[in-house]
Amino acid sequence: MASQKSMANLQKEQRVFHIREIAHQTLAEAGYEGLTMRGLAEKCGMSVPTLYNLIGGKDEILAQDAVEAFRRVVRATEAKPGGDAIDRTLNLYEAMLDEIMADEAYYQAFLPYSSSVAELRSFHERGARLYQSFLGAILSARKSQDFDDCFKLDLAIAELYDLSMAVIIKWSTGSVESAQLRHRLYYGISLILGSGMKGGAKEKITLLGQQAAEGISQK
């Protein structure tokens, strides 16, 4: 029989999950400014102090949402077959795009604030480190086969993160159309990683860049 303490913990987890679901839906429908702790407390049928005690403030809720999203992307990436450095990178980006496109309204409401709101900046920096560490581990396994010896892979990964976030945030504000998002991301990948690739990988990423450029020009 479960102890009273474990039952209480389970009930708390269920309440927190319910709060996060309502917060997620509210953000998608009303935007970042439309998600308030008072409004969320009313929808959840609890007081504002109770809400803070259970889950923290609004930005803590959003930060935890983003952590869970990153975990989903990692799991989806790891579930795909390996391949060369290009395949592995594209596996990550396909998982990211699947995550974003499955919940467009939420990400269009959240992403414009993800790097500008002071309370979210530390999480944004943490997310950058997680992304760079994960992609670095993926590509390091292929460095000797697919990259020139002198290529600065860590620097390229950091540049790729910055470029990717810039493109995705532009998409979230409507500056980049959904149909163009993949092309623009892949073009950036081809420029940054292609500058240090060799052999068959060089030919493959050059073709990827050409195809992405054609997709962009067809807008």
CB environment 175-204: b (16+ within 10 A), e (fewer): ebeeebbbbbbbbbbbbbbbebbeeebbeb
Amino acid in the structure at residue 201:
A
pLDDT band at 8 (very low <50, low <70, confident <90, very high): low
Tally of residues, the chain: 219
Name every residue whose Cβ is closer than 8 Å to that of residue 38 and which is 6 or more positions away in sequence: 48
pTM, to two decimals:
0.87
Give the mean pLDDT of 92-96.
96
Give the mean pLDDT of 41-60.
90
How many alpha carbons lie under 13 Å from residue 159 in its C-beta half-sphere?
13
Instruction: Round to whole Å and give the CA distance between 115 and 117.
Output: 6
The residue ranking higher by pLDDT, 203 or 3, is 203
Q: Which residue has the tokens 């060369």?
A: 84
The residue ranking higher by pLDDT, 28 or 112, is 28
% of the chain at pLDDT higher than 70 = 92
Instruction: Round to whole Å and give the CA distance between 136 and 143.
Output: 10
